Structure 1
C-alpha cells in the first residue's frame, strides 16, 4: 500500500489561506487565535496618512500684516488712486470745450498740464502738419586768449532720431520733449521773437535748458557763455502722383543769443563768471 505524498504547503495569501493578503498569520509574542495588534498591522497603501495641508490664504494674506503696515498700504493706494484720478480729470478738462470748471480753474489746469502733458489734435484735424521741424543749437565760449568762440550748429532733433530709430521702446523724452518745447516757445512768441502771453519767459527758459541738456551729450557745456537756438523748417514734398510744386528748401527761425545762467546748466554745474 503506497503512502500518500505530502501536499505542499500553501503560501500565505493563496487560496485556502484564512488570512487576507498582506497580513501576517502570526506575529511574534502572539498566541494562536489572538487578534492581531493594530500596532503590528502592515500599512494599507489605500489608507496612508494624507500630506499636511498647505497654509490657507487667510494665514498668508493681508490679514497677517501689522496695523502700521496696513495703514501704510492703504494710504499708498489712496494717494496713487487720487493722483491718477486728478491727472485724468485735468487732461480731460484741458482738451474739453470751455465750461464752468475751466473758466474757474483754467490757470490751475493749464499750469499742471503744460508743458509736459500738453495735448493737441494736429494729427487728425483739420489741417495736419505739412512740414518737418528740426531744432538746432550752438554755444559761445571764451578762448584762452579771452576772445569769443562760436561753435558749430548741432542738430538736436537728429540726436533724438538716433535714439528712436531701430528702438522698439523709445523713451517719451526722445520722442516728444524737444519737439514740444519748440512748439511751446513758438506758441508764446510771434515771428519776430516777441513775447506773447504770460508764459513766454517760461517757454524760452524751457527750450534753452533742454538745448543745453542735449548739447551736454556731445560737448562740455560748463564753459558756455551764451547759447543760441534755431528751428529749421522743411516742407514735406508732394507725392509722386501730384503735380503740385512745393519748395522743399529749408527756412530758418533763429532766436536771439541767450546768456547761460548757472541754473540753466544740467546737473547743477556752475557756469563761468561773465566778464564785465
Structure 2
C-alpha cells in the first residue's frame, strides 16, 4: 500500500517529503469546466497579480537561487558617493582648474618709484643720490674729526673744523673716568629799548630752567631743547680762558654762536615787553655740584659758582629773521 493514497485525505508519513500538489489549471489550449479556453496572450506569470490572500508586498524580496536581493544601501560612482554618504564636493577644485582656461594672472601694478613717470623717477633718483653723498661726506668728516692726527687732518683741518663746529662737535665726557657731576644753569639779561624809546634792563632769564620745563613730561623732546644751549655754553668755555678771553680762532665763533642763541630766546620770551628791541646782552652761568649719595663718604661743596660774562652789543646780524627792527614779526607778517 502506498504511503498515502493520491487524492485521498490520508496524512503523509513522517520523514517523507510532501507530494507536489497537482496543478488544477487545465493545459494550455483546453477548455475549463466553465467553458473558457486558456490562452497564451493573457499575460506572463510576472504580469499576473498575486495569489489570493497575498498582498503585492508579500512577493518582495524575490529569491533567485541562493542569493537574495539586498536592500539599497548606496552605490559609489567614481569619486562621488550617493546613498548614506553625502557628496561634499571638496575635490572639485583639484579636478577642475579654471585658471588653466583663463591663462596666467596679470602682473601686479608697479609700486614705489617704478609707479612714477620717467621725469619724476629721474628727480627721485637724483634726490636720493644727493642725500647719500651728503651722508657719506658727513660720516667722513666726523671720522676725521675724532680720529688721531694724520696727513689728511693736517692738510684739511680747517675745512673739517668748519664742517663740524659748532653744531656737530664731538666730546668724550660720557666715557671719561670722572663724568660731569655738576648742574649748570645758563642765564641771560638784556638792555632793551622799549616801544616808548626808553632803555631798561630786564631781569635774569634762566634759559636752562625753561628748557628743563619743556622737556619734563615730554616723551619725545627735541634735540634743540635738550642740547642746543648746553652745547653752546660748553663750546664757549672750551675756547676761552678764565678771564673770558678767546684762546684760539674758534673763540670768536663760539661767542657769536652763544650770543645769537640768547638773543633768539629773549625775543621768544618778549623780554622788556612787546615791541622791545634788544640792544645788548649779558650771560652768566650758575654751577652747583650734584650731591653724592648717602652711602658715599665724598664731601663736595654745595655753594654755587657764578661765572658772569661782559656785556655784548647785539648787531642786526645777531637777530633772527622777523625780529629785526623795522621788520614785522611772525604774527604781523601772517596778518599781512
More moved, 110-119 vs 197-206: 197-206
- Any conservation in 2 of the 1:262–1:268 contact (CA below 8 Å)? no
- For the pair shown, the structure with the greater C-alpha radius of gyration is 2
2:249 partner SS = coil
CA distance, structure 1, for counterparts of residue 115 and residue 211 of structure 2: 49
Please report how far the alpha carbon of residue 49 of structure 1 lies from its aligned counterpart in structure 2 after TM superposition.
3.6
Equivalent residue runs for 1:166-177 within 5 Å: 166-177=217-228
Q: 1:98 aligns with which of 149, 152, 169?
A: 149
- Tell me the equivalent position of 1:120: 171
In structure 2, relative to structure 1, the CA distance for the partners of 1:181 and 1:265 (3 Å cut) is: same
Question: 1:263 aligned to 2:317?
Answer: yes
Equivalent residue runs for 1:227-238 within 5 Å: 227-238=281-292
In structure 2, relative to structure 1, the CA distance for the partners of 1:145 and 1:70 (3 Å cut) is: closer
Please report how far the alpha carbon of residue 154 of structure 1 lies from its aligned counterpart in structure 2 after TM superposition.
0.8
1:119 partner SS = coil
- Tell me the equivalent position of 1:183: 234
Please report how far the alpha carbon of residue 149 of structure 1 lies from its aligned counterpart in structure 2 after TM superposition.
1.6
Q: 2:110 aligns with which of 49, 60, 67?
A: 60
Q: Deviations over 1:45-80 (max 9, x none)?
A: 6547448866425x5155565443332232222111
- Tell me the equivalent position of 1:87: 138
2:321 partner SS = helix
Q: TM-score, normalised by structure 2?
A: 0.63
Q: Deviations over 1:230-272 (max 9, x none)?
A: 1111122232123333111111111111222222223332238
2:169 partner SS = coil
More moved, 117-126 vs 173-182: 117-126
Q: 1:224 aligns with which of 266, 271, 278?
A: 278
Alignment coverage as a number of residue pairs: 244
CA distance, structure 2, for counterparts of residue 94 and residue 121 of structure 1: 13
Long gaps (5+) in structure 1: 6-14, 22-44
- Structure ranking higher on relative contact order (CA contacts 8 Å, 6+ apart): 1
CA RMSD of aligned residues (A): 3.3
Q: TM-score, normalised by structure 1?
A: 0.75
- Any conservation in 2 of the 1:139–1:228 contact (CA below 8 Å)? yes
Equivalent residue runs for 1:1-276 within 5 Å: 2=49, 46=93, 47=96, 49-50=98-99, 55-57=106-108, 59-61=109-111, 65-142=116-193, 147-220=198-271, 222-271=276-325
